[in-house]
Chain A
């Protein structure tokens, strides 16, 4: 029974995908509106069931469903792992997934690919659930690849636009680089531990020494996978381009769930990571650099979704920083709250785009506060949450990471706070330019502005509630909270906690001080943004305006895309052209064709022995018999 429920959670979205995918031409969109979100809703209900009956699973978290691959010493069962970590992820994926599905019903209403869209979305949720539930690396990897595929399909959803296709390809290829790391990591895990199941790997890892070079290699390789999937430096450039997909896709895949898979994977493998301090340092540096770097780019972006995309990259950086200092709970907490408020931000942005008939440039918006009140209020809540204003959810989760960071290294804390301030600045810049001041679009558009229908507005409100109160999950003792989430997740991280040295305890006074400093910095930034963009009405420069060099550098996203193009794409293209024109066409093709032609020629010759003449057949058979008897008996 318990297994059936567990099995059904990913199965339902798969069923939805099969129904919608096979019948995408015939199923009326009315049904799709129910099937698409409906399957996810059922999964969500089942996930809640699992969550509230958690004590059943606490005894035996590993759920063996069926044997799967068994070759030599490699034994990979089809098994699910249901522990606090995956239960939390289950709720986030199905809950946020459901809300976004409902929203999509309104958002994608007039799209000719309505059914296809929901089929892909359901497939995505299925893959994500597989990733989260898998009890061994291969199943996780299947989910990992599945979400990558869905991401590819959905980024290029409007495949008639060539640029969107390129964006989809870019996302896919960048992810492949990471996946290679993941795969190699898996191979290394197998050769080291002779197993790929989480329980066996982790229990063996516990007895390894700190700083073991093999563990370091494994963790680094897995981290490469995480870098690709979670868009960290240097593999982050695909995420802004991925905004080519429909906005609900950006909300679900490129903000709330898929991109956090890397964080989840590292949190899942926490015991391996704590045994590799060098890797942790690398993760910390990468995360911090990404957080700061992406935030700086976000300040100068003018596309509403691109700002959010860079913001996502930056927030993911925070999560990695959290992981690197052993704040696994903090990272997971931030993952959950980020899922709420970033999904809300994207959906709000979608609502704005929807209202403006596809306009995405914030320079052509403004004054939407009155026109789109629901969107405005929910967007404001999300913005406050991401900026870290208490008592909204983002404040608590970000604070937890920052606190750990301070215990680890005050310098890193300083940098992280600078990033948080930048976050507050660019988010309020976005808010002010979109919703304040006067409308800057055409007169024609002004008349068409309309608040979104309830099917889109209600998901916004639901997410707003989550974004506002999500912090209640883990209110620190400082504010009289019970650190519920930490307690809930602690069994997962128990082994890791046992290995790591306890961080220096920070007194409550210091804690208040740190919080105060961060908060003050953010408030100053909000004021600054208000001053610049509302008071002084700045920030409307056209793309070709001239700037000082540093500004131009940031506006052009540090020329990273161009740099990659120059040092990677161009040489690779050059080499591949050489291989194609010379090696392939001149040598390999000829060789292969030669073999093929030989085979075909042999076949065409051999068929003539099938003459249709029975006498001839008998002759050959007798010849065969004589040969067999002669060779075997007489010789």
Chain B
């Protein structure tokens, strides 16, 4: 709860710094504020409390994922100074909206009521529609925001309809009551309730970008300003998956037989389609978009394979995915700046001109591909083990096949960097930006070597 309040205050503060013409204070205040709200979040560890008649439930899962979200946002903000350095217009609105999006995301980790879930999703989504179009001069950015808005509001309708149907059949928005209703049904569920349930899956699946509701992702990711794409690919996805995870594993776990086939199929399709289509992308940003789609599929494994271990596995997975993805996007920003595009050919010979940057990108790619000893490998390992323990052999086989396919495209940038002749353009990087990059690369390695830092938490 303190997290939500502190983030709200931070968001308002950001906006007012803007109108007080204190642009140079913005980032320091935001970074400090994020640290403060991380500290406040940590104080809720092991408290297990609920607020406002169960509207918001704070438990260790929500604290851990809130931390992961704020930390991801922190990493992204640490890149913002470089990304927006040439921009003259005030940035307080973009930053402010980012923080409100983060707020929505945090609400999605700790909701105890469907109203709060919807509120969180909408806070997040509306903020994102704005952010996607925040580069007003670029046609691609306009295209991204329009597509995202059209499809997003369309699917939000389904989500709301789903919530309404569930309310209609169970008579409550409260997760506890709904859960009690599910138990009282004793195996015979009203179709209205089921329709609501599946519409809810569909609405959330859209936010996570799961096949067949993933179509927006590549187009929107490509058009959105890169820094905000990183935000979408990590914070938004983590929030949506944890919202789904909480809902389905805690409230609806009693009837997992009803919905898990659907999620199973969606996960398998997402993994296969994301990875297969990723093979053919000509540029890094689009490739990362497909990579993020395929990772949604892996994360869905945790929803189907709910068990004592899956909390940990999902946390490790989202964390390692987020850090590696932000790292990749951070370098993508540099490449786009230097070359004006991000075709793989722009990466040629990067190992010669900027060996350390090339190395960090390699780490990010290898981690996303799941090569030991990096974080991505450990995350996949734990997730797949959890799934196997739940008897999801075939899904794991699909996931491993998907991983194998993904290696092919994750190695494209690595090959370009190390094997091709350089075109002589050296990337210009300031020290703070470099420090952020190295820090993330270090984290990826560290989590890979010592997964126990994360895995024993929940």
Contact = CB atoms under 8 A, between A and B. Distances in A.
Any A–B CB pair closer than 8 Å? yes
Interface of A: 66-67, 70, 599-600, 602-604, 606-607, 610, 612, 614, 617-618, 620-621, 623-625, 628-629, 631-633
Given A603-B278, A606-B277, 5 more contacts: A66-B450, A599-B405, A624-B202, A624-B212, A624-B213
A632 B279 contact: no
B352 interface: no
B213 A628 contact: no
Contact of B150 (A600, A607, A614, A623): A614
B446 interface: no
A607 B280 contact: yes
Given A602-B276, A603-B280, A606-B276, A621 B215 contact: yes
A629 B195 CA distance: 7
A130 to B, nearest CB: 15
B343 interface: no
B258 interface: yes
B44 interface: no
B7 to A, nearest CB: 32
Interface in B241-300: 258-259, 262, 273, 276-281
Contacts of B206: 621
B276 A632 contact: no
Nearest to B222: A612
A606 B279 CA distance: 10
B154 interface: yes
A625 B202 contact: yes
A333 to B, nearest CB: 38
Interface string B140-174: 00000001001100110010000000000000000
Given A614-B150, A628-B198, A621 B212 contact: yes
B219 interface: yes
B76 interface: no
B198 A621 contact: no
Given A612-B219, A621-B151, A632-B262, A603 B212 contact: no
A617 B151 contact: yes
A618 B273 contact: no
A614 B194 CA distance: 28
Contacts of A629: 195, 198-199
B158 A625 contact: yes
Interface in B11-44: none
17 contacts: A66-B450, A70-B452, A599-B279, A599-B408, A602-B276, A603-B278, A603-B279, A603-B280, A617-B215, A618-B150, A618-B151, A618-B154, A620-B212, A625-B158, A628-B262, A631-B262, A632-B262
A138 to B, nearest CB: 14
A602 B275 CA distance: 11
B279 A600 contact: yes
Nearest to A620: B212
A625 B450 CA distance: 42
A628 B215 contact: no
A610 B191 contact: no
Contacts of A614: 147, 150-151
Given A607-B277, A621-B212, A624-B213, A633 B194 contact: yes
A329 to B, nearest CB: 38
A620 B262 CA distance: 17
A632 B155 contact: no
Contacts of B112: none
Contacts of B315: none
A614 B146 CA distance: 10
Contact of A628 (B202, B218, B273, B279): B202
A535 to B, nearest CB: 63
B74 interface: no
Contacts of B399: none
A550 B81 CA distance: 80
Given A66-B450, A621-B213, A603 B201 contact: no
B83 interface: no
Q: Which of A600, A618, A628 has the most CB of B within 10 A?
A: A628
A390 B218 CA distance: 81
Contacts of A602: 276
A633 B280 contact: no
Nearest to A628: B198
B399 to A, nearest CB: 15
Q: Which of A600, A618, A621, A624 has the most CB of B within 10 A?
A: A621
A621 B147 contact: no
A631 B201 CA distance: 14
B409 to A, nearest CB: 9
Contact of B276 (A67, A603, A621, A623): A603
B181 interface: no
B162 to A, nearest CB: 10
B216 interface: yes
A612 B151 CA distance: 12
B281 to A, nearest CB: 8
Nearest to B191: A633
